[in-house]
Amino acid sequence: MKDVLLKKELFDGFVEALMNSYKVAAPTRRGDKSFAFDFITNPSEVCLDHIPTILPPKKYFLPQHETLLEYDTTEGQNMQAFVEIEPMVILGVHSCDIAGIQCLNHVFMDRPKDYHYQARHDKILLIGYECLRKCDQYASCGLMQTHTPTGGYDIFMTDMGDHYYFSINTFAGKGMVQLFEGFEPADTVAEKTLKKLRSDKKKLFKNETDVSLAEIPSIFEWGFDSHVWDRTAEKCLSCGNCTNVCPTCYCFDVNDEPELNLAKGRRVRVWDSCQNETFAIIAGGENFRPKRAQRTRHRFFRKFKYPVMRYGKFFCTGCGRCSRQCMASINLKETISNLKRSWGEI
């Protein structure tokens, strides 16, 4: 599809046009170095140049607290499953978060499909925003190769000085562009600039670690018994922050929430974390991951080994949120480096 350009001063007009047709979520400023995706009421709230937000946009695909069905037990076990969602646009999604959504798509849209997820997925449009420089020292998108998108968006925006370049990937993306009249077709000069910009980016987004992507599978092949997990667990507080902010963590719990009359209520799913001590407990009280080291290790293996076996891809997008939010300063890059170095040590 033919790409388009938009003058920067017209960007607010485009956002307003989007807001007339959709609910628009965008990164907004919460503090000095803290941003969050939120529904906006004014284009001025949009903060395109953000470091990864506190929570990734997975919260719109898999909400923290999502009703699966409503029940009514006044006359037997009656229920109705449903999804409540408005058509919406998420604006300004970094390529790491797009990669995260692609991972979740794989998990939730494989058979047996999760139709709650699918319904949300079908109503959400994505407008990505290209990172032209590293956000901070926590990110590892250079290692994970997620700094340039590989699909997964409707439109992808790139800053080109006085213009934004809009790469249009879907018909829905074209539809959004048609809502606003200020676009110009992208000429060959702009296309060339984009190409140059992307090739320059490769020099800027270098691997942040001494580990290469290609050797990660072998590191995690033998790394299960490494002492690194005990060292990491000595710091870990099992708070579950890392799993909450991770764009590819999707574990959940299913609970019933009765109303005060006890006859009616909702069955909901809420985010859960494999870092919680009770996560792998069964009815008799047996816990299959009682030790903190087992749980920290489980999380790392759920990013770098198990999904590779199951879905054929890494479930780390290099966004750096887990390291940024960790109260105990456990750093993902350091942990992987240490794991590599621990080869042969006891």
Partner 1 sequence: MRIPLKKSGYEIIKAEVVKITPMTATEKLYEIRLKNGENLDHDPGQFVEVSIFGAGEAPISVCSSPTNQDTFELCIRKVGRMTSVLHNLKVGDEIGIRGPFGVGFPVNLLKGRDMIFIAGGLGIAPLRSLINYVLDERRDFGKVDILLGCKTPDKMLFGSEVAVWAERMDVNFCCTVDKSDPEWKGNVGLITTLIPGVNFNPDNTFAVVCGPPEMYIYVIQELLKKGMPESRIYVSLERHMKCGMGRCGHCQIHQYYCCMDGPVFPYDKVKDLEGAI
Q: Write out the residues near partner 1 by the rule CB under 8 A.
A: 68-69, 71, 73, 76-77, 79-87, 107-108, 112-116, 119, 123, 224, 250-256, 258, 262, 265, 267, 269, 272, 274, 279-284, 286, 288-289, 294, 298, 301-302, 305-306, 309-310
Q: Pick between residue 72 and residue 159 the one whose CB is nearest to partner 1.
A: 72
| Residue 90 Cβ vs partner 1, minimum distance, rounded to whole Å | 17
**The two three-digit tokens of residue 92, written as one number:** 């300004």
Q: Pick between residue 164 and residue 220 the one whose CB is nearest to partner 1.
A: 220
Cα separation of 261 and 250, whole Å?
32
| Residue 268 Cβ vs partner 1, minimum distance, rounded to whole Å | 10
Cα separation of 222 and 337, whole Å?
14
Cα separation of 284 and 334, whole Å?
38
- Which residue's structure tokens are 């300004």? 92
Cα separation of 145 and 276, whole Å?
30
| Residue 113 Cβ vs partner 1, minimum distance, rounded to whole Å | 8
Q: Pick between residue 76 and residue 161 the one whose CB is nearest to partner 1.
A: 76
Q: Pick between residue 116 and residue 163 the one whose CB is nearest to partner 1.
A: 116
- Which residue's structure tokens are 């794991």? 339
Query: Quick check: bond before 63 cis, omega within 30?
Result: no
| Residue 174 Cβ vs partner 1, minimum distance, rounded to whole Å | 23
Contacts of 309 (CB under 8 A, 6+ apart): none
| Residue 258 Cβ vs partner 1, minimum distance, rounded to whole Å | 5
Q: Pick between residue 87 and residue 151 the one whose CB is nearest to partner 1.
A: 87
Q: Pick between residue 10 and residue 251 the one whose CB is nearest to partner 1.
A: 251
Cα separation of 304 and 110, whole Å?
20
| Residue 269 Cβ vs partner 1, minimum distance, rounded to whole Å | 8
Q: Quick check: helix, strand or coil at residue 22?
A: coil
CA distances from 191 to 87, 167, 279 (A): 31, 10, 50
